[in-house]
Amino acid sequence: MDLQQIKYFLALARELHFWNTAGKMNITQSALSRQIQSLENQLGIQLFERNKRNVKLTAAGRFLKEKWEVELSELEYIHQSARQIHLGESGTITISHPDSISASLMPDILSRISTAFPKLKIKLVQVLYENQQEFLRTYKIDLAITRDINHARDIKSEKIYTDNLAIVVPDDHPYQKPEDLTKETLANQKFILPTTDEGSSYSDLIQRLFNSFENAPEVYLHSEFGSAIIALVRKGLGIAILPDSYLYHEISGIRFIKLPLEKTDLYINWRAEDHNPVLANVLKLILP
């Protein structure tokens, strides 16, 4: 007994006519008769009562028609799901990203993915800088969007976007434009900054900015989360340097002063030897 024999049986059970069924199944009437007889022999039961004029289901045939229609429908669904997984159209992909692009870049990326692959499940996480490569290597995440340059050979990386850095201040702060930042005025400011990570090119970028003013400002608070930094700035506890993509969060009570010459790049990183079709499909949508 094979799947095709069951399909022949169900077609005949619906038509109750060998000639019509054979035409719809694109086989000869004699071939259909042999398939049904073979199925009956394998099962050891009679499925149809037939004479020269009529074909009708036996009680056992009616029972199998009811059960097999459900089973075949579920099997077709399973096969279709397997094909979608094979083609990278379904499954799950886990993406880590910085908080700064939650309201700017990520909605556009997610819209492209969900439109192209509506059955694909997407899991979004935020991962500490020092864990990003380990999480990629151990398959805890599939893609890492980061502001840091990758130097690992087993991880591929491509630049996908560039932001400006910005000074973030409360609405009532005297800073109004980039030119207001000087060695003298910076000396009077308290800064709330992202956590300094050793080896992080993003941390190095902020440090180079301070070096350009020949000033090491007072930093009394560090946080991994830009949204928390912004809340503290809004509360008047200090000022910050963050990517200007946080503008899309539309938080009242603060101002962003864009620094035109200070750029921060965004990179997408993935396992170099990962041939998962889901990953390949998503990368095609994200990479420039």
HEC string of 125-141?
ECCCHHHHHHHHHCCCC
Confidence of residue 103 (pLDDT cuts 50, 70, 90): very high
* Stretch among 40-54, 74-88, 92-106 having the lowest mean pLDDT: 74-88
Sign of CA dihedral 117, 122, 126, 132: negative
What lies within 8 Å, CB to CB, of 42 at 6+ separation is: 1
Averaged pLDDT for residues 230-240: 93
For the segment 274-284, the average pLDDT, to the nearest whole number, is 90
Burial of 111 (0-12, 13-18, 19+ CB in 10 A): exposed
Beta-strand pair 48-50/55-57: antiparallel
Q: What is the rounded distance in angstroms from the CA atom of residue 81 to the CA atom of residue 47?
A: 31
SS3 for 36?
A: helix
User: pLDDT at position 84, please?
Assistant: 65
Mean pLDDT over 106-126 rounds to 94
Q: How far is CA 55 from CA 10, 50, 164, 226, 266, in A?
A: 13, 4, 77, 74, 69
Residue 203 identity (one-letter amino acid): S
The pTM of the full predicted model, rounded to 2 decimals, is 0.70
Q: What number is the average pLDDT over the span 55-72?
A: 91
205: enclosing H helix or E strand: helix 201-212
**Interatomic CA distance for residues 38 and 25, integer angstroms:** 17
Residue 288 has a pLDDT of 82
Per-residue tokens: 143: 């893609």
Q: What is the pLDDT of residues 179-203, one digit of tens each?
A: 988 888 888 888 898 887 766 888 8
Q: Which residues pair with 165 in a beta bridge?
A: 243, 259
Q: Kindly tell me if the per-residue pLDDT of 97 is higher than 80.
A: yes
Minimal CA–CA distance to 246: which of 179, 164, 186, 184?
164
Between CA 143 and CA 97 the distance in angstroms is: 9
Whether 242 contacts 165, CB under 8 Å: yes
